[in-house]
Amino acid sequence: MSELDGREAALKVREFFHDTHGPLGILMFEVEKAIHSGGAWLIRCSFYPSFLATSKVRYDVVVDAEDGKILEVKQVEEV
């Protein structure tokens, strides 16, 4: 199996939040950056967590580049 590229890693992150929050819990999902380092991808993303949200939430997610497993999810400051 080959390593995931940045696009595939970002799709894994989107899928994770879609499964966790539902399709209406990740409104305007945006990947802000994708950095490959040490066999993993760091994906920084942001989205509105609901229709009533007035600001986006931002997360840093670490994805294993070999198998696409989510290794770490950390919410960072609001956008």
Q: What is the pLDDT of residues 18-29, one digit of tens each?
A: 999 988 889 999
What residue spans define the domains of the chain?
6-76
Examine the pLDDT at 8 and tell me if it is beyond 80.
Answer: yes
pLDDT digits (tens, 9 = 90+) for 26-74: 999 999 999 999 999 999 999 999 989 999 999 999 999 999 999 999 9
User: Which CATH number applies to 6-76: 3.10.450, 3.10.310, 3.30.70, 1.10.10?
Assistant: 3.10.450
Examine the pLDDT at 1 and tell me if it is beyond 90.
Answer: no
Sheet holding 27-37, edge to edge: 27-37, 40-48, 57-64, 70-76
Q: 73 near 38, Cβ under 8 Å? A: no
φ/ψ of 20, rounded to 5, equals: -80, -45
